[in-house]
Structures are given as structure tokens and as C-alpha cells.
Amino acid sequence: MVEINAIYEGTLRCSATHAPSGSVIETDAPVDNHGLGERYSPTDLVATALGTCMMTIMGIYAQRHELDLTGTEVRVEKQMTPQPPRRIASLTTYVKVPLAENHPKRGAIEKAGITCPVHLSLHPEVEKNVVFEWGN
């Protein structure tokens, strides 16, 4: 179990503290939902969690197989639904892996990414597209 403690700061902003480390993040409502958009929105954090989780699980696989994925990059594009109820409609994740396209572990690395806990935890109605790019 991990404990997260959050407080509403007013003006559509929150701060959350990760109890084990003391690390703090702040959120703000996006401009298109009555906020100032000066910090991550809660749904931006979902997109961030997806991309970083994918790279983390790929990194765990790489460590086990003595591969170096340093420099792997991810870009996540989040689309919200155009009509209520407001929710994430789709997350498209672009993963750039600095290994050769014909690397023998390519399939296993890709599978590690798309089976990360965040990807598997997202609601089935959220469209999840993943595009891998291989090479330097």
C-alpha cells in the first residue's frame, strides 16, 4: 500500500504529497475547464503515469536482460471527450527506443510496455494507441 495525501488549495488547485518520499505535486484545472492551466491537470497526470509506467516496465525488462534503454523517450497525446461526461477519450503514446529496429528482444520490450499496470488499469472505453519507433 502507498499513501497519497492531497489537499484542495482553492482556485481549482490541489497539492498531493507522496507519503513514502515526501515528494509533492500540484495540479490545476485546465483552461478549457475553468482553470488557469498553469500546472498538470489531474487527467494530464493520467497521461504522464501511462508514459512513465510504460518506460519503467520496459526498463525492468531491459535490466533483467542486460539491455540499456537509457534515452528512451515517450510522448503521450491526450484527447478529452467533446461532450459530457468529461473524461479521457484517448491516449496515444509514441515510444522512441534507441535500439535497432531488428533487435531480437523488440517484441518482448514492446509487450512489457503495453502490459504496464497503468495501461492495464485504464477503463476499456479509453482508446489506447501505442506507436513504437526503433533506432537512434
* Beta carbons within 10 angstroms of residue 47's beta carbon: 22
- Give me the half-sphere count of Cα atoms (radius 13 Å) on the Cβ side of residue 24: 5
Answer whether 62's CB lies under 8 Å from 55's CB. Answer: no
Range 7-31 average pLDDT: 97
Where on the phi/psi map is residue 71: left (φ > 0), alpha (ψ -120 to 50), or beta?
A: left
What topology does CATH give the domain 41-134?
GMP Synthetase; Chain A, domain 3 (3.30.300)
| Pairing status of strand 88-97 against strand 73-80 | antiparallel
**pLDDT in the model for residue 116:** 98
**pLDDT in the model for residue 136:** 72
Q: What is the pLDDT of residues 85-118, one digit of tens each?
A: 999 999 999 999 999 999 999 999 999 999 999 9
